[in-house]
Every structure is written in structure tokens, then in C-alpha cells.
Structure 1
Amino acid sequence: MGVARPRVGVAVLTMGDRMPELLALLDSVARQDEPAARIVVVGNGCALPGLPDGVVGVELTQNLGVSGGRNVAWQRLREFGDVDVLVDLDDDGLLVDADVVRRTADLYETGTGAGAGAGRRGGARLGIVGFRIADETGRTQRRHVPRLRAADPMRRGPVTTFLGGGHALSMEMLERTGGWPDAFFFTHEETDLAWRALDAGWDILYEPQLVLQHPKTSPARHAVYYRMTARNRVWLARRRLPAPLVPVYLGVWIALTVARTRSAAGLRAWFGGFAEGLRTDAGPRRPMRWRTVARMTRLGRPPIV
């Protein structure tokens, strides 16, 4: 017998303040030429009035953040038992093409990302597919290309991380890696999951033909961005890096942050978050293997930057 066609479920988080955008996104999901097996919307501390037929709503009494909310969506899809691949989409995004679900299922049906590296290592599987994020003009910001050499956003291939706004995750991979890091709340949760997936032998593919249209924004628009990005970066290093790389990674990011940040208030918040990351519990420490460090280096992004 052949491999069964993967069943794709869609999950969306919302805080209830983008209902027109959310409904437009859900309409674009409904117009896919291969229907999603399930669609779940999680209200992160908000009510969910007027969802379309067939969309399952989960209303949380408090905002659990990106990590916690996505874990709720994942667990809800697990309960149905008929989803093999989970597609997460930002609530202000839009699927401009009608073939995203079908092409995602195609990728997972083959089991590899057509060059993602499984054949070379014998046994690695496709765990994560990162979508391309483009604004209304079709342009992709440099920060949205998940590699250091970001000149060409259309270059497809294996990478070491992915974007939170639009991506696909193997349900089996989530089971084996443990899902999203709840405590992170917001920022760097994708990197924590990506590093665990790579260390467990899964592949991450950047597929620019899978597009989520998203308004052009800056991550610093969120008031807590500077503090949380610093705190979570420290936690990430303490949780996932071999001991010799922890000071290297943190030192590189101190230098980059000082060089890039133009806001004095932002820098104060960043260093406050950095100190918080050092003095608070980072969670269980399970550092990646050195062969994973070598693999990430071959892929063009060693875990020091």
C-alpha cells in the first residue's frame, strides 16, 4: 500500500482585535482547492463571536501568549485524531493562493523537502515547512528570510529556523519534541522548537512558493518586545546550547543589539530582560548535540548568531 495522504489542519490565534482580518483569513482558507481537515481558532483571552460554519472555536479566559495559545490549538487538533500536519497562520494574514493546503500536503506526502537533506543522513524526515511572508506588494522583508544570506527571498531549501506567521508542523514531530515552550509567551518560541526538531533529526524546509500575505510591520510595535526578546534569548541559550557556546551566543547578541537599537528606552528594556533571563528559571536544560551544531553550521547558520 502507498503512503496515506497527509491530512492538514489549520490553527489561528487571535486576541479578538482583528475580526475583519481574521474573517478574511478564514475565507481564504475556505477557498483552498484541497480543504483543510480541521480549522481551529483560539481566542487568547477573548470571546469568538460569529465564526464561520465548520470552524472550531476555543475561548481562553486569559491570554497564554503565542506559545501557550499554539499549544492549546495543537492539543485540540490532537483530540480530533484526524490531522497529520498543523498549519499555523497569523490572524492578520491572508492566503493569496488557493493551493497552499494542497502543496503542503504534497510536501509531507513525499516525506522530505526535495533536497531538505533526508537522503544524505538516511532517516531524517520533514518536520517543519516555513512559508514566505510577503506584504501587499509581494515584497518580503529581509528579517522574514530564515537564513543569514537573505538577499534572495525566493531561494528554497533547508534552513535552521522558521517564521511564526505562517508555517506547517508535523504532528508526529510535535509529539516527539514536546510542542511549544509555554513559558516563552512571545518571541523566540520558533527558535526553541526548531533547535529541538533539528536535534531530534527532523528537517526544516523554507518553501517560498507557499505565501502568507501579511501587513508590513515591525516586531518592536509590541510594548513588551524588547524585554521578552532579551529574556527569551537568554533562556534559549541556557536551555539548548552546549555550555561553551552559551557565552559566545549571548555575547554576539549583546553586540548586535547595541549596534542595531536606536532607542535608549528600548536598550534599557532589553538589558532588563537580559538580566531577568539570567536570574530566573529557564526551564529544563537539554543542550543540543555537537553534531547538531555541525549540521546547523553546514546549513549556514551556526547557533551563535
Structure 2
Amino acid sequence: MDAIPWHAGISVVVLTYNRRDTLCWTLRHLQGLPERPRIAVVDNGSTDGTAAMVRDVFPQVVCLRSDTNLGAAGRNLGAQWAAQVAGTPYVAFCDDDCWWQPGSLARACALLDAYPAVASLTARILVGASGKEDPTSTLMSRSPLPSADLPGRAILGFMAGATAFRAEAFLAAGGYDERFFIGGEETVLAWKLAAHGWRMVYAPELVVHHHPSPLRDSRARRALLARNAVWAAWLHLPATMAIGDTVRAMPSLAMHLGVAGWRELAHGMQWVLRERAVVGDHVVAALRLTRRQR
């Protein structure tokens, strides 16, 4: 029988791909948390020995290995594990180059227990050794959305690698769509949650530390962000807003998307338009309000 007093309320899921050494550092931080959460690593088909490292160095960490790189959708495997195997109602996500501050997971559980209409709590992100606040955290703290009776500012989105979820809400909304791969993948899931009446909250009393890995392809990420913005807009927004989002994405598309990328964008529009389902007026109104702020 497992003698470790695992925290019964929340599990931590870490998404990784070919960043074994960075992941090792992150897991040491997570295993030292006073909450003693169950931890799972979703290995997106790494080829650098990540799975073997987890098995040999962190035998108490579950490794959920995918044969292929699922991108952000790999987190779906982690959410299913948390709900169905670990048996925790809440799941906290982080990437392989960030970790939750001691005490934040316990506080997240208390807030989710106290606010049953809240699906997600996004933590304040502190970057690097200096602990400078991430600009997105600053923006979320100024959200103009009505926030009465919530444990923080209401937001229409979240940061995928710094958010604790109610597992049932995450899974019922379908999690992340594999076709978006990565880059702005939170957008569609956030709109779906809002459409189903769930609230999303920025809770700065929760903290995640982010030490960005140098192993990242910024150009590819910018291309995916622009492509995904167009797909998301035509999938769920009114035509006038979708046209505007497409126009705004064009400079980035022109700069970062190669021939293959343009072909993929056009091909993807087929399933986007086939599955197009415009979100409700309350979601559109909230989105307009947040965009006016920006």
C-alpha cells in the first residue's frame, strides 16, 4: 500500500516534450511541495530519454507517454488520469519549465471547494530568478469583466501552464482540441467553458514560477498563434468579429507562415467551417469588453 499521504483534492499534470533536464528540475520542485500532490508527466513522444529519466529518478511520478506529439491536447490525458485514476476532483497544470509555489495548490482546492461555479483558477506567474510578474498576469489583474462574488478577477481565458481546473468541467468541455496543436490553445476551451456557464478567475494569491527553457522555437510558435487565432475565430465567433481577427492575424501569417503552413491553414478551414458554432451573446459581449480594454 502506498504510504505517502497524497493530497486527496488535487493532482499536478506536467506537459513535456524533449526537455528532460528542465523537467527533472521542475519535478524536484513539485515533489517538495507541502501538499504532496499526485504528479503525472505527459510525455508527448519525447526522443531524449525523458520517460526513462522519470521512471529511474522519480518512481513515484506517473509517466503518461504518448507515441506522438499531441501538443496541448496531451493535457487531456493528464486530466483523465487525475479524474479517473488519481481520483482527485481538481487538476493543476504546469509546463516542464514551471512549478507551483508551496501552499498554492492547497489554496486552490479551498477556493474551488468554496466557489462551485468556478471552473478554473489561473495563478500569478513570476518569471525567472528575478520573479518579475508576467505581462499576461498584469493584464488579467485588470480584467474589466464583472467579478462580484468571485475569489478574484473574472477572465475569459487562462494560462494553460499555470491553471488549476475543476476536472469535470475541463473534461465535459472536451479539453484541448488536438487540431490546434499548441499556441493560443486556451482560447477555444475558454469560450466553451463560458458558453456552458462556467466562470474563470485570475487568483493572484496562487503563484507559479516560470523559468523559460531556451529549448523553444519562437518563430514556429508565432506562426501557430496566428493560424489558431483565425481558426478559433471562424469556429466560434460572429462573422464580423471573425473577419476582424483574420485581418489582424495577416501580418503575422505573412511573416511567419511558410508555404506548407498556408496550405495547412486553408485545409483546416474546411473542418472549421463544417463545425462552426457561434458562441452565445453573453460570451461575445464579454469578449468585446475584454478587447476594448486591450
Which TM-score tier does this pair reach, normalised by the shorter chain?
Answer: 0.7 to 0.9
More helix by share: 2
**Structure 1 residues 276, 61: closer, same or farther in 2, change over 3 A?**
closer
Unaligned runs of 5+ in 1: 113-124
| Letter of the 1:8 counterpart | I
Aligned residue in 1 for 2:105: 101
Contact 1:159–1:204, Cα closer than 8 Å, also in 2: yes
Q: Does 1:33 align with 2:25?
A: no
> In 2, distance between residues paired with 1:15 and 1:220?
10
| Letter of the 1:141 counterpart | D
Deviates more, 1:39-48 or 1:197-206: 39-48
> In 1, distance between residues paired with 2:246 and 2:159?
21
Unaligned runs of 5+ in 2: 1-6, 144-150
Aligned residue in 2 for 1:277: 265
CA offset at residue 271 of structure 1?
Answer: 7.8
Contact 2:97–2:212, Cα closer than 8 Å, also in 1: no
Q: Does 1:61 align with 2:39?
A: no
Q: Secondary structure at the match of 1:244?
A: helix
CA offset at residue 293 of structure 1?
Answer: 1.3
% identity of equivalent residues: 25
CA offset at residue 18 of structure 1?
Answer: 3.4
> In 2, distance between residues paired with 1:66 and 1:301?
24
Question: Residue by residue, what CA displacement relative to the aligned partner does 1:137-160 show, whole Å, maximum 9, x if unpaired?
Answer: 11123245454958xxxx941111
CA offset at residue 195 of structure 1?
Answer: 1.0
Contact 1:235–1:282, Cα closer than 8 Å, also in 2: no
Q: Secondary structure at the match of 1:54?
A: coil
Q: Secondary structure at the match of 1:201?
A: coil
Deviates more, 1:212-221 or 1:98-107: 212-221
Question: TM-score normalized by structure 1?
Answer: 0.78
Q: Does 1:49 align with 2:52?
A: yes
Q: Does 1:202 align with 2:192?
A: no
**Structure 1 residues 60, 176: closer, same or farther in 2, change over 3 A?**
closer
Aligned residue in 2 for 1:74: 79
Question: Residue by residue, what CA displacement relative to the aligned partner does 1:230-280 show, whole Å, maximum 9, x if unpaired?
Answer: 2211110111112332112223444xxx4xx6xxxx843248646743442
Contact 2:79–2:171, Cα closer than 8 Å, also in 1: no
> In 2, distance between residues paired with 1:34 and 1:17?
25
| Letter of the 1:79 counterpart | Q
Question: TM-score normalized by structure 2?
Answer: 0.80
| Letter of the 2:169 counterpart | M
Contact 2:219–2:256, Cα closer than 8 Å, also in 1: no
Deviating above 6 A after TM superposition, structure 1's stretches of 4 or more consecutive aligned residues are 217-220
Aligned residue in 2 for 1:121: none
Question: Residue by residue, what CA displacement relative to the aligned partner does 1:145-178 show, whole Å, maximum 9, x if unpaired?
Answer: 454958xxxx941111111221111111123211
**Structure 1 residues 64, 216: closer, same or farther in 2, change over 3 A?**
closer
> In 2, distance between residues paired with 1:189 and 1:180?
7
**Structure 1 residues 218, 29: closer, same or farther in 2, change over 3 A?**
closer
**Structure 1 residues 6, 249: closer, same or farther in 2, change over 3 A?**
farther
Q: How many residues align?
A: 270
> In 1, distance between residues paired with 2:62 and 2:81?
9
**Structure 1 residues 241, 274: closer, same or farther in 2, change over 3 A?**
farther
Aligned residue in 1 for 2:115: 111
**Structure 1 residues 61, 25: closer, same or farther in 2, change over 3 A?**
same
| Letter of the 1:62 counterpart | T
